[in-house]
Chains A and B, each alone.
Chain A
């Protein structure tokens, strides 16, 4: 297997002696992150999903060491960032990291162009060159012509495009996205997700994406980590999570997902049992793409994956998957 670009071993974050409101003023330790272990490989889009207070923000801030983990080891691009000095950390961040924030975090006193060029300026790149590069990036995110506007003159969606362009300006190996679309209204969110998928296909960067929206996670992720109460419950591809939910909590999310857009033919194929189908679908095809074909056929349809026939699909199986919200129908 390829060396992971982010490797996180048994990482904890405990806020000690923090008085919690409402518990009589007593002091108690708050475990914000427990036993987080995960590997993220290069080029992967890794989504960390959890509701508020689940520790997803803490986890991503430990991965970037915006906060210091209490325990554990994190290696990013070959460098142990848990033990790095402040100076080394700055160097590592300049080399490998870009980040997009929920509330954009654009600098109000700089124009759009200067905001995008800001990380380049920090690295000492001269004005002409950094503005040229920023102009290209603004074109990439579809904001040409707004270079001289100030952030307050842009809509939320436009501001976040600037945020993305800025995070990409230094061509970082890893892009951290902290609920980048949560502050936007649903239509705009959808539009930016599409934009994100398009950019991703073009740039092939490693992306660590935080969200509280399971549908968003399913749409964008190669793999998803689901978090609750500071712990990681399960890590897997969207399909794995739906088919093999390990915890009732995970099932709560997967229950309402539109399965037809997640499940592939190879996953739901049944043993052929001697059937010799006349029609075939591809193993990587999504259920919604072939459902009509199976339902309109009077005999089982075969599933072909990487040249081999791996099973068949019955009309009844497809119907029960499409209509049920229960796990067992899938398995």
Chain B
């Protein structure tokens, strides 16, 4: 059998080596000869997907029952929204605004948790989870937020994150447990999870708004749905990894299925679930920042309004507050995940001794809150303490604009005219049937007919929805962004694989870049280059370069040492070994990195819509502004389809390389 594979691979290799480039060249060259009329997808063939989704949404939100005898879906969604709003209000009041029982804008009837208490509790939690270093990071980060005057906004954001993350965690674990117990449910769920992870964040917002009504609940629901897949995945994975002996023990001990899940399986799967919670929390923060732009308030809103005023200083400070919050949330939830695996005994036996810290905290909280009750001013961060650098930052921004705009603009213009515009014109100038055909051919070459069909149909359906132009713009921006990310990322990854110091530095940078909500990337870019495709491209590259670096580094480090030793002993120079042995063997991992890079580029696209690109991200953004669910869903699905095609093609290529190298 191995021989058969070997033969077929070598035959296919010969076939591919000639056929693919030949076909591509013929297609592309041939297409320039075709008349302009063939460039645009025929209007008559457009399928009214958008109308269908509008009708579907209308049906879902109608006031008459969808199924006779049952109340209309709207009543359920309203009830859900009510519950969610209640939770959100409670936590926002607790952390940020204080409780208002009387109508009107008067002072709060009950103050929020005092700001110094929140900082103290968070630092203490950091100390308990991750030691002194984490305590200091937390303390300094929160102080920064307070002193720059972003405290209330940050607490609003935090409250939204807490609510959405808590609901996601509970729902995710419950759904994950169900999927673990029922194979059928798992099989039904799996394609949805795949799709959910590729649909951009905005696409959830529109239907959520329609179902739940305009307000924070809709944003929160969209956030929860967006953050659910990794939570479900890690729960299922954690449960599957529980050693079979442990579940056998549970059965022999006579556990009922419920006891088994609650007392044996879930606690054993806790470390993996906690990793899921870390990932989910960061996605939640990302989404909360984005969602706050539709009026929910919080740090994202502050950044956006500052950018619109071109008040770069405030924008930067609010952006840094987001960074601080992101780093604190990430490090703390990571430390919690690491700690969930190791249990240490405590010799203290008595109740008061064991719970002395908890009891002390409850006492301190009660006392400080009481002080806040009598002296409300102490609960809020004093205005006089705000020490903002925004004026000097604005000054700095102006200085850059004056002194650096020459060279920066020169680079920008040169790049636009030599690379970006020609690429866009070339892709936009292809006859409409070329892109679907091309992905089909690539799919066929690396995998087979099934992938070819899937890729062609998905791309074709985007065109058929009337989204040819934004889709091509998307391909151009993301394609260019991916290529640039790889161009910079792969050499950096090689450097990281070769030098321990570079590895450590790059690792720290990548860690930080990965925790940042995608929105933050826009701030410096807009500051330097204003709006437009060029700014969008830079933001995309900054965001998507991480996997390119990471996977290259990982792939080269993973090459077995004996290959390298054998090559060196054969007389190879370091460069030769890298070129002839390490890189080829690392190609499968690098390709996985490519796939990740494309995914991240696509997810950044929606954010770059804010700086005025004309792609599918802009479509979803416009749909959001117009509350047009049909348009938003279709544009969101279009991005998801592009992501699926790119992901499947690249992983088919990766698998193909794996097989060639007999690494399966």
Contact = CB atoms under 8 A, between A and B. Distances in A.
B263 A122 contact: yes
A238 interface: no
A122 B259 contact: yes
Contacts of A123: 254
4 A-B pairs with least C-beta separation? A94-B254, A150-B343, A105-B245, A99-B252
Contacts of B245: 101-105, 178
Interface in B169-219: none
A122 B254 contact: yes
Interface string A209-239: 0000000000000000000000000000000
Given A25-B1, A148-B345, A153-B344, A107 B254 contact: no
A149 B343 CA distance: 9
A302 interface: no
Contact of B246 (A66, A94, A105): A105
A93 interface: yes
B429 interface: no
B253 A108 contact: no
Interface stretch (B136-144, B264-272, B498-506, B642-650): B264-272
A110 B268 CA distance: 10
Interface of A: 22, 24-25, 61, 64, 66, 90-91, 93-94, 97-99, 101-105, 107-111, 118-119, 121-123, 148-153, 170, 176, 178
Given A103-B243, A109-B268, A150 B344 contact: yes
B264 A107 contact: yes
Nearest to A92: B254
Interface string B316-344: 00000000000000000000000001111
B251 interface: yes
B418 interface: no
B563 interface: no
Contacts of B344: 150, 153
A93 B264 CA distance: 17
Given A90-B256, A93-B254, A99-B252, A107 B246 contact: yes
Interface in B385-433: none
B346 interface: yes
Given A90-B256, A122-B255, 20 more contacts: A25-B1, A64-B252, A90-B254, A90-B255, A93-B252, A93-B253, A93-B254, A97-B252, A99-B248, A101-B245, A103-B245, A109-B268, A109-B270, A109-B343, A111-B343, A119-B253, A122-B253, A148-B345, A152-B342, A170-B253
A176 B253 CA distance: 12
Interface in B338-367: 341-347, 349
22 contacts: A22-B1, A64-B252, A93-B251, A93-B253, A99-B252, A101-B248, A103-B245, A105-B249, A107-B246, A107-B267, A107-B268, A108-B268, A108-B343, A109-B267, A110-B267, A111-B343, A111-B345, A122-B259, A122-B263, A152-B343, A170-B253, A178-B245
Interface in B215-258: 243, 245-246, 248-249, 251-256
Contacts of B267: 107-110
A251 B107 CA distance: 91
Contact of B1 (A24, A93, A104): A24
Nearest to A120: B253
Contacts of B259: 122
B354 to A, nearest CB: 10
B254 A105 contact: no
Contacts of A122: 253-255, 259, 263
A153 B347 CA distance: 13
A39 B545 CA distance: 66
Contacts of B246: 105, 107
Contacts of B255: 90, 122
Nearest to B252: A99
A98 B256 CA distance: 16
Nearest to B264: A107
Nearest to A23: B1
Nearest to A61: B248
Most B CB atoms within 10 A — which of A93, A98, A109, A153? A109
B252 A98 contact: yes
Nearest to B346: A148
Contacts of A111: 343, 345
A94 B252 CA distance: 7
Contacts of A25: 1
Contacts of A99: 248-249, 252
A176 B254 contact: no
Nearest to B348: A148
B81 to A, nearest CB: 36
A148 B254 CA distance: 24
A66 B254 contact: no
Contact of B254 (A119, A149, A150, A152): A119
Contacts of B345: 111, 148-150, 153
Nearest to A153: B345
A109 B268 CA distance: 7
Given A103-B245, A150-B345, A152-B342, A66 B252 contact: yes
